[in-house]
Amino acid sequence: MAILKTQALTRCFGALTAVNALTISVEAGEMFGLLGPNGAGKTTVIKMLTTLLRPTSGGASIAGFNIIRQAASVRRVIGYVPQALSVDGSLTGYENLLIFAKLYDIPHTERESRIRDALSFMGLTDAAGKLVREYSGGMIRRLEIAQSTLHRPHLLFLDEPTLGLDPLARKAVWEHIKQLCTQYGTTIFLTTHYMEEADSLCSRVAIMHLGKVVALGTPTILKASIGTGGDTLDDVFIHYTGGILESGGSYRETSSERRTAQRLG
């Protein structure tokens, strides 16, 4: 059963069509990857689906709720971890989660157990009392995922969840993301530039280029679709985006990505 459906979802910025008639569906419990070069429209898609940006035309529903007419209901069933920093370094890990528990209106009688469970699940129990500014990059990302899942969302959006992390930290985050699916049945919708990450984690991926989805399927099917044998998802990405590994991407986007990598590195 699909938990997310989009129908000709479109967003224009003046004369620029950032997302052009996106029509996809994501099944409940699935881990779905959205890939594409910088400027392809991935983050714009996520901002529309998380109700942070109104579509120009078309629409979408999440868990049966319309993202435009029922935005408040959508927010109650989703979690979102953006590229930008979403925790406060001057507070402890526990304090960050407590603030989010209050923002999510988690009942007072359940807050303590939810916070402790989230810290334990993300392997942060021993660091709960430390200031977040003392955390490593991988710990920060795990804390951000913990706070975004306190209200037990049906669908979790992750925008470049391992950007700037070293290989060991990336692997740790991958394992926790997989556990969210297997243990809690959380549906994951992620963007990434790491093709091996998408290949390892995602049951299906969509590749965007210039605002449109140009390929959609399982990593295995997409690798077979280019028909040369022994192909990787990197080869698929290059094939469907016209041989351009990086295109588009404004100064602001590049600066934002580098700031994210710097604070997590």
* pLDDT tens readout for residues 26-70: 999 999 999 999 889 999 999 999 999 999 999 999 999 999 999
The continuous run of DSSP H or E covering 191 comes out as strand 187-191
Q: How high is the pLDDT of residue 164?
A: 81
Three-state secondary structure of 80-127: EECCCCCCCCCCEHHHHHHHHHHHCCCCHHHHHHHHHHHHHHCCCHHH
What are the two backbone dihedrals, phi and then psi, of residue 9, each rounded to the nearest 5 degrees? -65, 125
Closest CA to 250 of 7, 13, 70, 1: 13
Residue among 236, 214, 218, 181 at smallest CA distance from 42 = 214
Distance from chain centroid for Cα 223 = 23
pLDDT of res. 168: 86
Q: Please tell me what DSSP assigns to residue 227.
A: -
| Residue 54: φ, ψ to 5° | -80, 135
Q: Which structural domain range is residue 195 located in?
A: 2-264
Q: Provide the number of structural domains found in the chain.
A: 1
| Other beta carbons less than 10 A from residue 40's beta carbon | 26
pLDDT tens, 141-163? 999 999 999 999 999 999 998 88
Model pLDDT, residue 265: 46
* DSSP annotation string for 18-67: EEEEE--EEETT-EEEEE--TTSSHHHHHHHHTTSS--SEEEEEETTEET
Quick one: pLDDT at residue 190? 95
pLDDT confidence of residue 231? 83
Distance of CA 12 to the CA centre of its chain: 22
Residues of the chain falling short of pLDDT 70 = 243-265
Q: What is the CATH number of the domain that holds 226?
A: 3.40.50.300
